Amino acid sequence: MTTFDIQKYALLWDHQALIERIDKRVDMMMEQGLLEEAQALYLQRHLNALNTVGYKELFAFFDGQCTLAEAVEQIKIHTRQYAKRQMTWLRRDKEYLWIKYDSLILQ
């Protein structure tokens, strides 16, 4: 049996940079057809697989519970909350080596 030397890495983002990146990504997803995709799936909204960030906020818009702008803002907020939960979960594992994102060359 071969043993492996496993190394765990996690990116440490500047809080404001992460918010901006999430907001930009949500805007890009909307431009690339997230609204139309969610509309095509609306009749299956009861499926657990569609109870996710992005779809559930747009389903609320389709149901008349909010405006489209409010739904998009909620997607951004819920995505930021999800990212925070991920960071909290990763921090529990002390084996992770945290690397500041700005010390890497990202494209």
pLDDT tens column, 39-77:
999 999 999 999 999 999 999 999 999 999 999 999 999
**What's the total number of domains in the chain?**
1
Domain enclosing residue 46, as ranges: 25-96
* Residue 107 included in any domain: no
Residue 45 lies in a domain: yes
| Residue 9 forms part of a structural domain | no
Residue 86: inside a domain: yes
The pLDDT, as a whole number, for residue 45 is: 95
> Does position 105 have pLDDT exceeding 60, yes or no?
no
Query: Residue 48 falls within a domain, yes or no?
Result: yes
Distance of alpha carbon 9 from alpha carbon 7, whole angstroms: 7
What is the model's pTM?
0.85
Residue with tokens 């995709």: 37
Instruction: Tell me, yes or no, whether 7 lies in a domain.
Output: no
Q: Is residue 54 part of a domain?
A: yes
Confidence band, pLDDT 50/70/90 cuts, at residue 107: very low
Residues 58 and 31: their CA atoms lie apart, in Å, by: 14
Looking up residue 49, the CATH number of its domain turns out to be 1.10.287.890
**Are residues 47 and 56 in contact, defined by beta-carbon separation less than 8 angstroms?**
no
Q: What is the mean pLDDT of residues 22-46?
A: 97
CB-CB contact of 60 with 66 (8 Å): yes
Assess if residue 81 is contained within a domain. Answer: yes
Residue 102: the pLDDT is 72
Q: Could you tell me if 106 and 22 are in contact, meaning their C-beta atoms sit under 8 angstroms apart?
A: no
pLDDT of residue 51: 94
Separation between Cα atoms, residue 46 and residue 101, nearest integer Å:
38
* pLDDT value, residue 100: 87
